[in-house]
Amino acid sequence: MSPSLQVEGALASVAARAGDPLEAEYILLELWLHPPEAGVWNPPCAERIQRAAAAILARQLPDGGFGVDPGGPADASATVMAYFGLKLAGIPVNDGRLERVRDCVLALGGIERASSRVKINLSLFGLYPRQDCPMIAPETILLPGRARRLCVSLAIVQSFNPVRPVPAGFTLQELIPRQDVSKGRGGWDGLAKLYERHPLGWLRRMAVAKCRRWMLARLRSINGLGATFHSLLYSILALDLLGYPPEHPDRAAAQAQLERLIVDRDGQFRIQPCIPRAWSAAIGACGPVQAGSMGRNADWLLAMQSRDGGWAAFDGDPDATSPDATGCVLEAIATAPGMGPGHPAVRRAVGYLVSHQEPDGSWAGSRGNYIWGTFLALRGLRAAGMDNREATVLRGGEWLRSIQNADGGWGESRASTAAQTAWALLGLMAGGDWESLSVRQGMEYLMRAQQEDGGRQEEPDYPLQALAEYRKAASEGNA
């Protein structure tokens, strides 16, 4: 990986893929912590909320919506959440910017098209029917299997069935298409709702108590609950419902950790989805590796390898390993002095990636993007010395080629973007494909994108990295 991919750029890249506008969920948290009085909302952090709203608007797409991937199309969940945050921040409903957001939501199918998590968020304030949201019962923590850091806190919140107040007259009814009729869920969720009406008191108390212990044990770690925005947000809500006052050490610590994710300086406001120390160490080590030394990062990364051979993006949750984090770290350490294909840590990481390859040949990314996960996994395997004729590598490359768009680019949300095209190309080249029609068409797409926007892309590092690697290969006769 090129030294040009510095840590700050990598963190911004993760933030760009975070999904729903986190600034809108920050506004949601402030509404929870500082409810309206007599129907009027005057939170103590009003100026910061305005900066959050400005940050949301700065990412508005030409069609009025908000996307998940850089340069990608509008996403229903992100756009609904953005509308909620902007309207709550005080932007009038007849403001052209908010009208365009509303029109985009309706064009995408309305609020019903939003994700389950967005619907749950809105239901906490009576803005979406609770009965139409999936239920996460605290009792699930008593079942076999590892609990998820986000779900445990959210299970506590849902068990209280809260409905917090909103400013007088605030509604999202305008996001419901006229012909829309909400439908209840069936299957397991229907059974969960049936149980929720009449839970066993003793079992519910035992389950909530275990959820509370699980949550507090992880909150008290150095990066509580993986230091992710959503897990911390739901933990603050859960602690509030459990009766922990703002000054309680556990709740104050959770709030302080969430504050670490907020960047509010030099006229800029943004929220990072996480503090991914593993990403920082691995990416920060890539430049020094090429110079012949990894310094302290190598020892720390080796110490953070999980029992299954992988790495987690969040050192606060070392068991939540992912192929993208593992591929990134593997690329960083595999060529370091004293390492190599025969090193036990490298062998275990390779075994992890081989065992976690999806049936279709892809690898999952920790943020839900399979192009991202596949690109990093293939680069890690290359660094570890895996032959590009191995079935694992061939299947990964074939999957990337199979999802290429007609315009030569790639985009997991269908429309091609420069960033995702670069990820796919870097993955293909890592697998030894320098001269296929797919690669040539992808490079042509990137060069067109460079010319059309003058290089002003949301994530310019990746396209430049892909073009540089391709040109270097061409000069050496490999492409």
- Let me know: does 70 contact 63? Beta carbons within 8 Å: no
Residues of the chain above pLDDT 70, percent = 78
Class of the domain covering 19-131: mainly alpha
pLDDT higher than threshold 80 for residue 444: yes
Measured CA to CA, the distance from residue 437 to residue 145 in angstroms comes to 45
What global pTM score does this model have?
A: 0.64
Please state, as a whole number, how many other Cβ atoms lie within 10 Å of the Cβ of residue 436.
12
Same fold, 19-131 and 277-475: yes
Q: What is the tally of helices (H) and strands (E) in the chain? A: 20, 2
Long-range pairs for 34-42 at CB < 8 Å and ≥24 separation? 35/164, 35/165, 36/165, 36/166, 36/167, 36/168, 39/167, 39/168, 39/169, 40/167, 40/168, 41/88, 41/166, 41/167
The DSSP secondary-structure symbol of 175 reads G
Measured CA to CA, the distance from residue 2 to residue 426 in angstroms comes to 11
- Residues 303-311: what's their mean pLDDT? 86
pLDDT higher than threshold 60 for residue 462: yes
pLDDT higher than threshold 60 for residue 336: yes
pLDDT, greater one: 7 or 333: 333
Q: What is the pLDDT of residues 388-414, one digit of tens each?
A: 999 999 999 999 999 999 999 998 877
Classify domain 134-163+185-272 at the CATH topology level: Glycosyltransferase (1.50.10)
Measured CA to CA, the distance from residue 128 to residue 75 in angstroms comes to 19
Res. 360 pLDDT band, cuts 50 70 90: very high
- Residues 339-363: what's their mean pLDDT? 93
Task: Please give the mean pLDDT across all residues of the chain.
Answer: 82
- Beta-carbon contacts of residue 471 (< 8 Å; ≥ 6 apart): none
Measured CA to CA, the distance from residue 212 to residue 265 in angstroms comes to 35
Q: What is the pLDDT of residues 18-47, one digit of tens each?
A: 445 899 999 999 999 999 999 999 999 999
Rounded to the nearest 5 degrees, what angle is found at the Cα of 124, between the Cα atoms of 72 and 41? 90
- Residues 205-231: what's their mean pLDDT? 80
Domain ranges of the chain: 19-131, 134-163+185-272, 277-475
**Amino acid letter for position 368:** G
pLDDT at 471 (0 to 100) = 85
- Let me know: does 479 contact 467? Beta carbons within 8 Å: no
Res. 267 pLDDT band, cuts 50 70 90: confident
pLDDT at 394 (0 to 100) = 96
pLDDT at 69 (0 to 100) = 64
pLDDT higher than threshold 70 for residue 317: no
Domain 277-475 architecture: Alpha/alpha barrel (1.50)
pLDDT at 415 (0 to 100) = 82
pLDDT, greater one: 335 or 190: 335
Strands, E assignment, 130-198: none
Q: What is the pLDDT of residues 68-78, one digit of tens each?
A: 765 668 889 99
- Give the DSSP H or E segment for 380: helix 370-383
Res. 181 pLDDT band, cuts 50 70 90: very low
**Amino acid letter for position 398:** E
- Give the DSSP H or E segment for 15: helix 7-16
Give the lowest-confidence range in 106-115, 150-159, 177-186, 211-220.
Answer: 177-186
Res. 182 pLDDT band, cuts 50 70 90: very low
Q: What is the pLDDT of residues 124-162, one digit of tens each?
A: 999 999 888 888 888 888 876 544 555 889 999 999 999
* Four-CA torsion 32, 33, 36, 41, nearest 10 degrees: -100
Give the lowest-confidence range in 21-25, 302-306, 319-323, 454-458.
Answer: 454-458
pLDDT at 455 (0 to 100) = 46
pLDDT higher than threshold 80 for residue 479: no
pLDDT higher than threshold 80 for residue 9: no
